[in-house]
Structure 1
Amino acid sequence: MLSDTLTTLLLRPAVVVPALCALVYVCVLLLKWRRRGPRLPNIPIMGARKGDWFPILQAQWRNTRDFKTVMEQAHAQYKDEAVLVPVASSPPLVMLPHHEVDFMMQQPDSVLGFNERAFELYQVDYTFVDPSVPRATLHEALLRTALTPRIGTLVPALADEVAWAFDKHWGTNTTEWRELCVFETMRHIVGGVANRAFVGLPFCRNPELVNSGMAFAVDIPLSGALMNLFWAPLRPLVAPLITLPNRIHTRAFRRLITGEIKRRLKDYDARQAMSPDEAKSLPVEPSDLLQWSIHQAKSNGNPFLWRAETLADRILIVNFAAIHTTSFTSTWAVFDLVASIPRGTVDILREEIKSVLAANGGAWTKKALAQLVKLESAMRESARLSSILAVGLGRVVVAEEGLTTPSGVHLDKGQHVAAPVYAVMLDDHVYEDAATFKPFRFCSAATEGGGQRQNYVPLTTTGPDFLAFGHGKHACPGRYFAAAELKLILAYALLHYEFEILPVKPEGPWYGLNRIPPLTATIRVRRRTNV
């Protein structure tokens, strides 16, 4: 009786039709997935061992647990060869040898796709509330054409925000030492300073807005890595749960900034309806990324781009790009300086900062920041020694016929490729005594016309031996802003605070393809007097 009742229930159209639809859906996904996967090249598999039944999966497990060792072994054993590097947070990756970086840079986007790599690594179709916003990639052009040329006009406001943020997060007590978590305070400082340029006052000092932006900056790489753990046909099923924080923080950010966006859009339309003489009587427009985004959207002519939600999401994307990496880089820089040998590094940098400020009327300008050559050398050296990237120049082969490298390795369409970063920047053949922090490695004194001048390599200069910001036409478009921001932050910290020197630099964990600074490590600081 029970079996007859159960059979009757299962054969009801309300059960059969959804079940068949689900079966067809899964079959379609399986067929799409089988067609999409590239054939892996026959090259050494890092992490695989003789006798493995499932070398890719087993190597993926081992590499994910200890990616640092994998990078060191690949560089030591296969320095001039391409290797396959399976890792859980990414599709199987072919790491080309260092000497083929120039070959990679010569390939057009129609052969090696830049955006395709980012879209799949971060699984943007699932991790963003509206995937069409990151896929538009308009922010890259805006950073190059609007943000970078205006860095000079932004410096006074950024310097003001740096001072406010340090007073809040590091304190003003000149008598007692204070123990603080470097990463936790740095990410709040970076978040506020970056948003001073992105959305301006008072929004950059709204803790809920800044916290939403910082949380989103963590959400994207974390949820992207988790999504990559799952078989492609299962991702639509697990995405709603994995990306729940993304949606929460996106909606919170939208709620906090949408009113200001709508006000600015209304003001923009009103100005456009006026004659040039009438518009002169109005207050000056804000000079920040949000305002430039509005101008870009309106000039594009696509109404979707000037929706308040679209503009809010674009600011969030830049928060993700700017806060995540700059927080890591500034945290490593503090530890490199506070634990540096020789011990006088902080004093030398402090004297340079005081001298430059005195020569520029006590105020930071773009010109003054350019004169901090020793500090910039120390920043570049920290980015080299403590690189947050294990591999860089990530691309995807998009040419239908694939791509054959100079060493004869053929890569099918869909294959992900990259170049070594961490191992190269710690190679003694590339950098003398590479494992040692030498803060003035990238600057030197030179005599010119009877006087002294400093030769130095800027932090923003890229090359095959320094891929912290990428290289070529897709090098980080915001690196000039990031360099100015980092200089202001480190200069303020060094000038206004005493540091208890650390005997040993703390090490951080490795997560997938990235080397993370110690997230809970602390230092002791005290506000200096008579600055």
Structure 2
Amino acid sequence: MDQVANIVQERAPILASIAVILVTVFTASILLNSSGASKLPLVGEEIGNAEKRRKAFITNGIDFYQKGYELFKSKAFRLTALDGDKIVLPRHLMEEVRQLPDDIINIDKAFTIMNEQHLLGMEHPTRGKFLVHVIQSDLTRALVRINPRLSEESSRTIQEEIGACEDWSEKVAYSTLLRIVAIVSGAIFIGGDLCRSEEYLKSSIGYTLDFVGAVSGLKRWSKRWRWLGSYFVPEVKKLFAERKKAHDFLEPIIAKRRVAMKAGEDMPDDTLQWMIEKAAKFNLSDDELAESQLNLSMAAIHTTTLTVTMILYDLVVRPDVVEELREEITRVLAANDGVMTTHALFEMKLLDSVMKESQRVNPGSLIRFQRYVDKPVTLSDGTHLPSGYLIETAHALTVNDPEVYRNPEQFDAHRFLDLRNGTSEDLLKYKNREQHQFVTVTKDFMHFGYGRHACPGRFFAANEIKLILARILLDYDIRTPDGVTERYANLSMGTDAFPDPTKTVLFKRVKKTA
């Protein structure tokens, strides 16, 4: 725990921008060289030239989106972000846009520009496709099989990391949950024996923060000179050094497993093994396999921790909701022989509703569905997307729009449960009420993205989040210290918001009745 706390404290400035740069998060800080002029309305044009608009965006970026959304809700508009113009699309066009092929709107190119992947040694399209394939074909399909292990690991790790707590005990929520998520995820990613290794935890937790720091450091340089900056930015040097340490840890493990496979030994049922068995098909070396494992941790551990922390902050000031959830979890477990099976987790529908409502009121990033326009295209309503532009949609404004969700300013734990049950009016008129599940992606709720490139790991993440929350709520009472009654405010940076990683929560073991 001390080591995780030290990592978090050491990289506090990096944590402040974690929601901006994470691989499954969509940012606004991208340089664009537009090869075609757009005639779409420009928000902030009255401010002056592009440089003046850029400076205004730095301090009031959210206001630009809000103004554009209010003025052009049903139309596309432009705004000038940190380094250029981009196009913000209305939600009614998203169904059409999501069907455009990758050679017209390109997610890989958007990520490459956004994350400076060509300068950080991460530009490897085959490795990206490999990771998505393993998640979709192996991890997601194995959920029913691996869920008992996830459940057992969640229970064990929570007991270890939160502790006995016979009296009220104060814990820093983010760093505690970060270690829990890293260990529980690691049990499936790399195996139960290694997931508690301090070397593994340090690399899986720290690598993302080092990556964020490197990208942030490069963004301080102009695009023209970033190739030169990569030799001088200390965060870049640190990233490469830490990556080498992580590879030095992982590659002998991979080599040892290959020897065991040749000897005909029984092999672990985990993500690393699935990767090893499919590496030849994708022509990946052991070094590239190690990098794929790092990227898996980077995509999963911090994003899941941010989500769980947001939900815990929402619940700790709502004891009535906690009690309802505890009753639901207890009832569902009783009907499933006390086992948190995949079916049992599905039946925890109030918990699912709370998770989705927390996402709605804490959307993290204001924007979603960023794509780079590789080829110009004109949409059905006449909207023209020139090549060289970044496109996106104002997700956070959509999920807080009263035309989409009633009373959006209120946290309603039952909102999505009632929509699934048909006991409240669905303004979206979905024919399939299950569209309101936590894992479902629609043009009206894009927390996990939208279309064929929606987050492939969201099913695993949903199971893990439910298991962790259910176990915490069953085993511990929770409250804020010093009589705090208001939810901890999120921290904001640019167009992103994330839970304050310094805040604490009090835990006390629930006394079991005979």
**Other-structure match for 2:118:** 125
Deviations 1:36-69 (A, max 9, x none): 543452334445543x3xx333323332334333
> Could you tell me which amino acid in structure 2 is paired with residue 79 of structure 1?
K
CA distance in 2, matches of 1:170, 1:35: 46
Tell me, yes or no, if structure 1 residue 216 matches structure 2 residue 207: yes
Structure 1 residues 66 and 163: CA distance shift in structure 2, 3 A: farther
Offset of residue 214 of structure 1:
1.5
Supply the distance in 2 between the matched residues of 1:126 and 1:356 (Cα, whole angstroms). Answer: 50
Scaled by the length of structure 2, the TM-score of the pair is 0.85
**Counterpart residue type for residue 182 of structure 2:** G
Q: Which of residues 416, 419, 443 in structure 1 aligns to 2:393?
A: 419
Determine whether 1:237 maps to 2:228.
yes
The 5-angstrom pairing of residues 467-482 of structure 1 reads 467-482=446-461
Matching residue of 2:503? 521
SS class of match (2:392): strand
Contact 1:63 1:70 in 2 (8 A): yes
Look up the match of 2:10. Answer: none
**1:372-410 C-alpha deviation (Å, 9 max, x unpaired):** 1110111111111111121111111112xx122344343
> Could you tell me how far apart the structure 2 residues matched to 1:35 and 1:360 are?
53
Q: Deviations over 1:128-187 (max 9, x none)?
A: 4x533775421011111000000111112212222232223322121x212222222222
| Letter of the structure 1 residue corresponding to residue 208 of structure 2 | A
State whether residues 80 and 99 of structure 1, in contact with CA within 8 Å, keep that contact through their aligned partners in structure 2. Answer: yes
SS class of match (1:103): helix
Q: 1:159 to 1:416 in 2, by over 3 A?
A: same
Q: Deviations over 1:181-204 (max 9, x none)?
A: 222222211111111111012211
Counterpart-to-counterpart distance in 1, 2:38 and 2:128: 32
* CA distance in 2 between partners of 1:324 and 1:221 (Å): 12
Q: Is the 8 A contact 2:378 2:384 kept in 1?
A: yes
The percentage of aligned residue pairs carrying the same residue is: 26
Number of residue pairs aligned between Structure 1 and Structure 2: 466
Shift of 1:470: 0.8
Q: Any unmatched runs of 5+ in structure 2? A: 1-30, 423-432
Q: Which residue of 1 aligns with 2:336?
A: 360
How far apart are the structure 2 equivalents of 1:530 and 1:417? 53
1:392 aligns to 2:368 (yes or no):
yes
Give yes or no for contact 2:168–2:506 (8 Å, CA) kept in 1. Answer: yes
Q: Distance in 2 between matches of 1:193 and 1:111?
A: 39
2:35 aligned residue (35, 38, 48): 38
Pairwise CA RMSD:
2.3
Residue 390 of structure 2 aligns to which amino acid in structure 1? H
Distance 1:59 1:257, change over 3 A: same
**Partner of 1:140 in structure 2?**
132
Aligned to 1:21: none
Aligned with residue 491 of structure 2, among 490, 509, 519: 509
Rg (Cα) greater in structure: 1
Alignment counterpart, residue 169 of structure 1, candidates 158, 161, 166: 161
Q: Deviations over 1:471-527 (max 9, x none)?
A: 111111001001001100110111111112551112222233422222212222212
Output the CA distance in 2 between the equivalents of 1:47 and 1:298: 52
Secondary structure of the equivalent of 1:396? strand
The question of whether the paired residues in 2 share the 8 Å contact of 1:169 and 1:189 is answered with: yes
Q: 1:493 aligns with which of 467, 472, 475?
A: 472
CA contact (8 A) 1:93 1:415 kept: yes
| TM-score normalised over the length of structure 1 | 0.82
Residue 86, structure 1, aligned to residue 80, structure 2:
yes
Q: What is the aligned partner in structure 2 of residue 429 from structure 1?
A: 403
Asked if structure 2 preserves the Cα contact closer than 8 Å seen for 1:198 and 1:289, the reply is yes
> What is the match of residue 151 of structure 1?
143
Matches within 5 A, 1:182-221: 182-221=173-212
Match of 2:64 in 1: 70
> Does the 8 A contact of 2:32 with 2:388 survive in 1?
no
Q: CA deviation at 1:80?
A: 2.2
User: Secondary structure in 1 aligned to 2:295?
Assistant: helix
Deviations 1:89-117 (A, max 9, x none): x7642111222111211211111112111
Kindly indicate whether residue 303 of structure 2 is the aligned counterpart of residue 325 of structure 1: yes
**Residues 456-475 of structure 1: matches in 2 within 5 Å?**
457-475=436-454
* In structure 2, distance between residues paired with 1:132 and 1:490: 36
Q: Give unmatched runs, 5+ long, in structure 1.
A: 1-33, 272-281, 448-454
Q: Which amino acid aligns with 1:370?
A: F
Range that drifts further, 226-235 or 34-43: 34-43
**One-letter identity of the residue aligned with 1:59:** R
**1:347 offset after TM fit, Å?**
0.2
CA distance in 1, matches of 2:313, 2:63: 23
Give, as a single letter, the amino acid of the residue that structure 2 aligns with 1:84: R
SS in 1 for 2:370: strand
Q: Name the SS of the counterpart of 2:369 in structure 1.
A: strand
- On the 8 A contact 2:34/2:386 being kept in 1, the answer is no
How far did residue 228 of structure 1 move?
3.5
Whether the 8 Å contact between 2:32 and 2:85 is mirrored in structure 1 is no
Distance 1:133 1:410 in 2: 28
